Amino acid sequence: MSELYSLFSHVINRHRLASSQLVLGFSGGMDSRVMLALLAQYRDETNCECCAVYVHHGLSQHADEWAKQCQRWAQHAAIPFFIERVQLDTDSGESVESLARTARYQVLANYINADDLLLTGQHSDDQIETFLLALKRGSGPKGLSSMAQAMSFGAGKIVRPLLAATRVQIESFAITQNLDWVEDESNQDTRFDRNFIRHHITPVLMQRWPHIHQAVARSATLCAQQQVLLEELLQEAMQEAKMPDGSLSITALSHRSELARYQLLRMWLAQLGESMPTQEHLAMIWQQVASARIDANPRLKLGQSEIRRFDQKLYCIQTYQDISDWQAMIVPDQSVTLPDGLGNLTLSSNGASKGIALPDDCHQLSVTFNPEGLAACPSGRVGSRKLKKLFQEYGVPSWLRRRTPILMHRNQVVAIANLFVDRDFSGQDCELIWDK
């Protein structure tokens, strides 16, 4: 049994359950090629379920050739193989590295069910690169903890069985086993920070300090432990600040020191799956959003999301497309598909609590999201009010007021989904059902 296989099997055995499927993220590079060979040997010994997934980013002219080669290697190893093609929005402003990584993991998550393990081929040289990149960004303990050997991923875990191995050990195994692999030409491009570190920094560090791998691993582990301890100590404060709707209480945060407040913000954003904000962004969240004047409607762009304030709470919301101009006709007992993933709207005559009286010309009913200039009088009240004021009364955050379906008859408001029916259309013919 080789030393590398012993390491691989030991790590897998620590995390694999009887029901676990092993899913290999297979690029065809040296690291993942070695992982395929190790996985095939492990499968033969344990009879576990496994597969390999190649994510085709379309970034290289050789990508189709690599995909076919990976398929041949997987077939030779009798491991089920899948190709997933993704398209990257290279005009988004994010780095190609970041876009490719995000797309890759989004696709791979679809293969991970409960208890399954996603296997990736990172090793200790990669850990040095990740640590130094975090250091370059000025990261704290969480960033400097770099890559964990295992962590939650989708419904299962991501496991890095070779994280304690060096690139030299992996290459030696590949040569001994007569393995061939694909060479991605982009790995030589030192315009990418990771490649610059790999080719110009790590070799110098290793020459000066041969045990730098172990030193970085220890530092990363200590940072991870400090981060876990910090979160344990602030758990009670987090429970106090976190609201049932996922928002964060500004009042609760204001009772904490600045250091504790910023850490609570980090923990909150991490729980939401957001990228870690810089110290500058944390200050802006508190000063420009949480502490903005009471009549303001502050917002702060943070990656693909926005930090907003409503009712003395902070919200982290996805940036949405403008659907103000969207509208569609609706007829009783037929579903209308709403835009931008907002679900379906049905005017149902089978509802238990119907609430709406249909006009004679019900073919003139429509759905819109634009409340501009509209007014209504909720059933049971006297006098109409602008929808802007009614949304405020019903506690609808400002960013949801143009994402809440409005049922119209000609130019009159009939109902606002999940809020109220207008007094002039109150009755027992139909119920407006918003299935999100």
What residues are designated binding site for ATP? 27-32
CA 253 – CA 307 distance, rounded (Å): 15
Residue type, position 113, single letter: N
Backbone φ, ψ for residue 73 (5° rounding): -65, -45
CA 129 – CA 135 distance, rounded (Å): 10
List alpha helices for 138-234, DSSP H: 141-144, 167-176, 193-196, 202-208, 212-233
What b/e sequence results for 385-412 when a residue is b if at least 16 CB atoms lie within 10 Å of its CB, and e otherwise?
eebbebbeeeebbebebbbbbbbbbeee
DSSP state of 430: B
**Token pair listed for 14:** 């620590």
DSSP 19-86: TPEEEEE---SHHHHHHHHHHHHHHHHH--EEEEEEEE---STTHHHHHHHHHHHHHHTT--EEEEE-
Known binding positions:
27-32
Cβ–Cβ < 8 Å for 118, 135: no
CA 158 – CA 22 distance, rounded (Å): 10
Q: What is the crossing angle of helices 30-46 and 167-176, to 10°?
A: 70
DSSP state of 419: T
What b/e sequence results for 307-337 when a residue is b if at least 16 CB atoms lie within 10 Å of its CB, and e otherwise?
bbbeeebbbbbeeeeebeebeeebeeeeebe
CA 153 – CA 49 distance, rounded (Å): 18
Cβ–Cβ < 8 Å for 32, 160: no
From the list 119, 37, 29, the residue with the least C-alpha distance to 78 is 37
